[in-house]
Structure 1
Amino acid sequence: MPVRIWDRLLGREVERPPGGPMPLGRLFFAPGGRLLSLNAAAARPGRYLAADGTWTLWDETRHHRDEGDFGHHAMPDDITTYIVTAVGRRLHSLVAQGTAAEEWLSETPLMGGADIDERLRPRDIDEVIGRCLPHLRAACHQPVARLRAVNRLVPASRARRVTPAAITRLTARSEDWAALRPNGVRPARLLDPARETDLDFYENRVLARLVDHLWDHVRGRLAEVERIEAMLDDVSTYAEDASGRPWRVSQYMFFLIEGLVESSARRTRAKRLREDLERLRNALVELRGPTILPGVHRHTDVGTVLRSTNVFTNDDRYRRSAELWRAWVAAKGGKGTSGPSNDRIQEWCESFTLYTGLLLTHALAQLDLVPEGPFEPGGEARCAGRYSEAVSLRWEQTGTFVLSRGGEPVLRVVPVPHALVASEQPGRTAQEIDALAAAAATDPRTLVVYPGQREGRGRLPLHVRLRAFQSCEAPAPPGGGRAPSILPVSPLEIDSVTRLARSLRWALAQHLFAKYPARIDCPGSYANAVADGADWIATSTNGLTVVRPPAPRELAAVRRRIGTLGHRTAQFMQRGGNAELVARLQDEMKAAAESLAELARCPLCRNASGDPSRTFQARDGSTFRSTCEVCGASWELRRCGSCDRRYPVLNGNGRDDGTAVESDGDAMDHRFGSEALSAQCWVRSTVAYCPHCGECGEARTLKNLRCGRCTGG
């Protein structure tokens, strides 16, 4: 079928794949007009340009070939792939049934109890390892050997016999002569035939490869169990220190983790399995030592199907080792443990898009915005909540999501199923982030969501770690605000929903705050008459500026005054009435009052101010500050001293105690949850750095700069 190449980061069609490093899943095949083949298979609409490592894209129409490589670390760890794929299959059935978006909230974005039980359940290979490992150990310590005929160069006095090969070498090598005689030579060194032990043959190579395969298997299983234990520990820690987190965030998160809080049986199974795997790992460490199977080429490719040999048939140690090899091959071909085939990678890309949609529905619900209506590719779910402007989430056919407020797009969310930090190489991670930054569209702002683990980010240098986790309100310096936001998510991290909700809150608030102050165009005479005596209205060059939300009585008084202006003008002007102008002023004044009333509404508890003149304070430079009478939160609009753009700041429930904290993205998850609009300075908590340019006011004022963020660590 004919297809088009759609660049999901750029948000438009491209003629061919871009050069340089390209993340997995960046390009999408949309229905179109060209015949393309990916790795000799026809490219189909609705699929991603994704493959295991290298890829080749052939354009049948233009006879052009493009090639690339996603690298060895494009796919995340096995357990993340397993969980996200399982979630994706369940969500795919919901999409096929036309299930409403609000019903997606019943599906958890975390690793559920059933998934945990599945990963902690013993596998078939575990029983075979327990039975056959002693035989493998015995074969490695006392392997079968063969004698190989060799010729060693020894002194002539130690040679036991003279062979034709020794004579041939002696005639050609005069340096081996001791003396030259009339009837011949007296040799100094001769080749002496001997036999030596040889271990480098097929059966022993299989043993060496089997040890390496089991080592990789055990390490992978151990990493899975440790991540499950870490998630259960996070759940317990979250439940214990919930009092130190924003209570609204904790209340919602308890809903997600309610089935995991009391899981002592799972903890016991996980601990027992981890201890068994650690003992097995220690046993395999011994078999990987330099004294085991010396001289055997350990990395020789022996295939997967064993050849039937006398040693594997007659020697019990090798027969049991062959049984263990076959068990490993069967496990390698099982679900969740096989190598990443192209079909499996395609399913991973599709599942990660579905998983991101699930995270978005939960993140919106955390902001009191519950998506309603069918949620499917090509559709748009409207969000019900206490917002004056309509909020909706559109799911595009290309696997991206667009968040809109008041009918205007405010944020593009692009799921990129490429594990940016899996390689744990700072240089490679920075290079891949640079490629994302160069390709992402900027209008509206782009948020890239990718699979990433906390331990992988923790091993990166600070300046790279900040770039690998820069949500909308916390760009990485310098100039990080001009790049796309990059957010790691994982079904093993309970804060994935929270950090995504924080970015959505920023996008919605930034769109609303950017409309302050509300401006109304009208002639100067009208502006002076309307603004006379109203401290919430100011005159400007082109009309009126509404700087504070009015109380109902104040709005009613101004609207009566506008109506009076209309009647007087109609009476004394002989050139016709001004009914249209007066009607427009009435409508725009009402709309401006509603817009500023939304600014005066608390972003956290959604309480509407009963006395805006007391809680809302207009400031210089088209900025303001407002407070909530119910929950004590404060929010404001500030102006950046570097880029001169305005940005929102939120202090929820008085948590700004003046304490300076070096907070990267993970620390912000713990301290603020979703209740933040701009990240705090690491030196002075009363200062925030601009989400647009990434600059911090303290970096320009402090004589002795102590901030690790601004200095790069």
Structure 2
Amino acid sequence: MDSDDLLDRVSGRPVSGTVGRALTGQYILLPERGSAEAGRRPLGTGEYYVDKRGRSDRAESDQVTVEAVLAIGRIVATLTARQASLAELADIHPLVDGAAAMKALSRQPLEEAIEEHLPFLRSVCFRPVSRLRPINRLVPVPRARRITPQTVMRLAAHSEDWASLRPDGVRPDRVLSPEREVNLDLYENRVAVHLVDQLWRYLTARMAQIRDIKGMFSDVERYIDDVSSRPWQQSSLRLWHLLAQFVEQEEWDARASLRLQELEKLRSAVSALRRSPLWNGVNRRAELGTSLRATNLLIGEDRFRHVAELWQQWMATRTRFISDDGEFSRGQDWCRGYECYVAVLLLRAFDEVGGQPADQSVLARGAVPVNYRYRGSDVTLRWGEDGVLVIERDETVVLRVVPLPHPLTDSRLRAPVLDELAMLNVQPPIEPTLVLYPGGREERQELPQSVRLQAFEAPGAPAPGKDGTPLWKIPISPLEIDSVTRLGRGLRFVLEQPRLSGYPYQVLIGTGVDTDFVSRIPWLSMGTNGLIVTRVPADHEIAAARAMVLAQRRDTSRFQQRGTNSTAVEALWEEVGRAVKQTVALTRCPRCGAESASPDRALQIRGDGQFRCSCGQCGGIWEGRRCRTCLRLYPILESSALVDAGSTDGDYLDRHFATDLLAAPCWVRARVFICPRCAVCGNAEGESQCARCSDGSATAGQERGGRQSRTSD
């Protein structure tokens, strides 16, 4: 297809070059273009390019995830059609609802069919039907039963098979003797073995679904303990309502445990068939297709008739999610539903970190931006025509949130996951971009540690060796309540990082203004590019400084050939006032949002010139750090949670820090943090190194960070 018609949603730019294998939902038809070809059907404006070669079957066959996401998408579409408020959209349940959970926990038709037909399948595997196949085998002469013309031809051509040469001929040592061999590699037996393999895969996936649902309850219990220990100022009413819905459904946990036991027993019975004589007696790689051939055994033999019925039930399970509108419409519905699901998660994350809707705005695709108030500043959220949600502050893009409905970690293998992660960075984005893709905890845990860190890196917690591309990836799932918290943690960093990374704030000095007064003001000093505000001044100190600054005004003097500097002096004082407000804003708690009653006491200046603040309401402690590698500033938020020297990956941060984190901590020392810019840990050159810092990619990150700092300087 014409690649110029497509937009790369990750980079936000038109596609350059030919579109080959593509991730599901990565490309969309540009609104200003006409149409483009996707397979046999032309794309319409705003439709997704869904490449069959790049699509994962699990994104469509995972019943719980698909139905939950599509249900959320239908609710969002209904509310946006009637111009619902942000509060109504934020109240949408972002997890699996009761109907979907009960449907997933109930016994499926294929499972009932397995229980019914499994005895006959077991009989076929351990007492298979076979045929005798004639073969010629080279055997010693005493073991030969009879000879054939092939025996004589072989003996005449191979003297190594002679025992001795006689005057009238030869005395043979080995001869080719016809025998009959039992052959199990029949079409019907191949069907039975292929069915055993597919049923084992199905039961394994079903057990993973049940474990995910069961894991929600342990996550909810952990989250209730975490939230209940926080001060009341941090508690979210919507979050409590969300947790209350699960507490009321305690029978889900019991039913999930029971179904898990039943499925484990059923899978064990199927696994036993993988050790049967038939398992190693047939070609398991043979292509069988989807439709069974009507053979005598599959129709007339009772055992194989049951195998054929089980095959048909398995095929019905594979194709039941294909809608009547066809494969293309199914892909479009999945992409749009996932987009709506991400919008709901983002609204929940705003609520989790303390964002408040500024008015009764309506969030809808392609509509005007909605307004938020966050920590005393104005933030806008826009849902673009390309399905990307953009967060802006002061007309500057803070973060682009890209819903990517492609399960990047579905293969659970290192090479395929790295290949798909590389496809995201074909055109690196210029603006900060966060990709949200569907993925479960079990998938990530099976990946190598280095790949797992790349597949789950949020703003503030980059992977080792990360380059300067502002691109992060976060897995989300309607089966994990931590999806809200991990998105909120990344959102908190991008919103707080500009406010907490500018100390000390610079004040430019205009021409014609003397700076002799600076030495008489204790909270001002000379910096590299002008004045800097070193601490929060008291009211009387501000009044005294204002008098000193305004005293630098002078009138026009023709004799001295100089003009008035009143405008420059007044501008200087305005800049000083702005820097003072920014310094006072450092004392606003990034955890609970409380403003300090005594900013001059809350702000402490460390010996290295950076600040340290504490909150009297929630007990939070935050400060500024300077990276030793790239020399850039970044904020940190201390926590009482412990760190694990084994692996402090994204899931660990979810469990132990929730949203109460800015920069990620070191895996060994909780007081040391990882630079969000160059991804180098502050303990990388220390004696107690962990698996993260000892990797070769960490050294590459240090070199890149040093080059970037020198370039920026």
Please indicate, yes or no, whether the TM-score normalized by the shorter chain is above 0.5. yes
- Indicate whether 1:118 and 2:100 are aligned: no
What's 2:270 paired with? 284
1:367-386 alignment, distance < 5 Å:
367-371=353-357, 373-385=361-373
Residues 1:595 and 2:582 are matched in the alignment: yes
TM-superposed CA distance for 1:5, in Å, is 1.9
**Matches of residues 38-437 of structure 1 in structure 2 within 5 Å?**
38-53=38-53, 79-146=64-131, 166-167=148-149, 170=152, 173-174=155-156, 197-240=182-225, 253-292=239-278, 295-335=281-321, 341=327, 343-371=329-357, 373-385=361-373, 387-436=375-424
Cα separation, 2, equivalents of 1:659 and 1:140 = 48
Which amino acid in structure 2 is aligned with residue 393 of structure 1? L
Q: Where does 1:544-693 land on structure 2 (aligned, <5 Å)?
A: 544-551=531-538, 554-555=541-542, 569=555, 580-581=567-568, 584-585=571-572, 587-618=574-605, 623-651=610-638, 655=640, 663-693=648-678
Q: Is the 8 A contact 2:194 2:284 kept in 1?
A: yes
Aligned residue number for residue 16 of structure 1:
17
Matched, 1:7 2:8: yes
Shift of 1:278: 1.4
Is the 1:73–1:423 contact (alpha carbons within 8 Å) kept by the matching residues of 2?
Answer: no
Conservation of the 8 A alpha-carbon contact between 1:449 and 1:486: yes
Please state how far the C-alpha of 1:224 moved relative to its aligned partner: 1.1
Q: Aligned partners of 2:229, 2:217: CA distance in 1, in Å?
A: 19
Q: Which moved more, 1:613-622 or 1:104-113?
A: 613-622
Name the CA shift for 1:430/1:322 in 2 (closer, same or farther; >3 Å). closer
Q: How far did 1:410 drift?
A: 1.8
Change in 2 beyond 3 A, CA 1:167/1:185: farther
Counterpart residue type for residue 679 of structure 1:
A
Q: 1:33 to 1:113 in 2, by over 3 A?
A: closer
**Could you tell me how far 1:40 is from its partner in structure 2?**
3.7
Q: Give the CA deviation at 1:534.
A: 4.2
Kept in 1: contact 2:23–2:55 (CA 8 A): yes
Q: Distance in 2 between matches of 1:288 and 1:129?
A: 15
- Structure 1 distance, partners of 2:61, 2:484, is 19
> SS at the partner of 1:88?
helix
1:570-605 Cα offsets, whole Å, 9 max, x none, are 899998866655664565454444333322222223
Secondary structure of 2:125's aligned partner: helix
- Going from structure 1 to structure 2, the CA distance change for 1:34 and 1:251 (only over 3 Å counts) comes to closer
Distance in 1 of aligned mates of 2:264 and 2:402? 39
2:704: which partner in 1? none
Q: Residue 4 of structure 1 aligns to which amino acid in structure 2?
A: D
- Name which of 456, 461, 486 aligns with 1:474: 461
SS at the partner of 1:260?
A: helix
Once residues 642 and 310 of structure 2 are traced to their aligned partners in structure 1, the CA distance between those partners, rounded to angstroms, is 61
Alpha-carbon separation, structure 2, partners of 1:89 and 1:454: 26
Determine the C-alpha separation between the residues in 2 that align with 1:532 and 1:309.
100
Distance 1:465 1:247, change over 3 A: farther
* Cα distance in 2 for residues equivalent to 1:157 and 1:605: 93
Q: Distance in 1 between matches of 2:144 and 2:275?
A: 36
Structure 2 portions without partners, runs of 5+ = 697-713
- Aligned residue for 1:709, secondary structure, equals helix
Deviation at 1:615, TM superposition (A): 1.7
Conserved 8 A contact 2:23-2:50: no
How far residue 143 of structure 1 moved from its aligned partner, in angstroms, is 3.6
2:488 aligns to what SS in structure 1? Answer: helix
Kindly provide the amino acid, as one letter, of the partner of residue 351 in structure 1.
G
- Render the CA deviation track for 1:172-221: whole Å, top value 9, x for unaligned: 75258999999999999887777665443333332222222322222221
Per-residue deviation, 1:524: 6.5
> Counterparts of 2:438 and 2:225 in 1: how far apart (Å)?
27
Contact 2:220 2:481 in 1 (8 A): yes
* SS in structure 1 of the partner of residue 30 of structure 2: strand
1:364: Cα distance to partner? 0.9
Q: Indicate conservation of the 8 Å contact 2:59/2:66, yes or no.
A: no
Over 3 Å counting, the alpha-carbon distance change for 1:250 and 1:133 in structure 2 is: farther
Q: Check the 8 A contact 1:377/1:395 in 2, yes or no.
A: yes
Structure 2: distance between partners of 1:246 and 1:341: 50
For the pair 1:712 / 2:713, whether they are aligned, the reply is: no
Contact persistence 2:506–2:533 (CA under 8 A): yes
Counterpart AA for 1:213 = Q
- Name the CA distance, whole Å, in 1 between partners of 2:460 and 2:377: 22
Contact 1:548 1:612 in 2 (8 A): no
Q: CA 1:536 to 1:278, structure 2 compared with 1: closer, same or farther past 3 Å?
A: same
Closer/same/farther in 2, CA of residues 294 and 538 from structure 1, 3 Å limit: closer
CA RMSD of aligned residues (A): 4.1
Alignment map for 1:445-484 (pairs within 5 Å): 445-479=432-466, 484=471
Which region of structure 1 is more displaced relative to structure 2, 308-317 or 675-684? 308-317
Deviation digits for residues 535-567 of structure 1, max 9, x if unmatched? 33445576543344445555456556667776x
Quote the offset at 1:326 in angstroms: 1.9
> What is the letter of the counterpart of residue 595 of structure 1?
Q
Say which SS state the counterpart of residue 596 (structure 2) adopts: coil
CA contact (8 A) 2:674 2:682 kept: yes
* Aligned-residue offset at 1:305: 2.8
Deviates more, 1:208-217 or 1:475-484: 475-484
- In structure 2, what residue type is equivalent to 1:107? I
Partner residue in 2 for 1:64? none
Identity %: 37
Task: Decide whether the 8 Å contact of 2:643 with 2:667 is kept in 1.
Answer: no
2:580 & 2:355 partners in 1: Cα distance?
A: 23
Amino acid at match of 1:170: V
Contact 2:431 2:470 in 1 (8 A): no
* Paired residues of 1:245 and 1:673 also in contact (CA < 8 A): no
Structure 1 pair 528–494 and aligned structure 2 pair: CA distance change class (3 A): same
Secondary structure of the structure 2 residue equivalent to 1:392: strand
Q: CA deviation at 1:482?
A: 5.4
Counterpart position of 1:65: none
1:413-447 Cα distance to aligned partner (Å, 9 max, x none): 23333333332223443454455456432x43222
- C-alpha distance in structure 2 between counterparts of 1:201 and 1:456, whole Å: 36
- CA distance in structure 2 between the aligned counterparts of 1:183 and 1:483, rounded to whole angstroms: 90
Structure 1 residue aligned with 2:699: none
In 1: Cα distance, 2:257 partner to 2:645 partner: 38
> Partner of 1:600: helix, strand, or coil?
coil
State the alpha-carbon separation in 2 of the partners of residues 657 and 273 from structure 1. 35
Structure 2 CA distance for aligned equivalents of residues 248 and 309 of structure 1: 72
Q: Which amino acid aligns with 2:459?
A: C
Of 146-155 and 589-598, the range deviating more from structure 2: 146-155
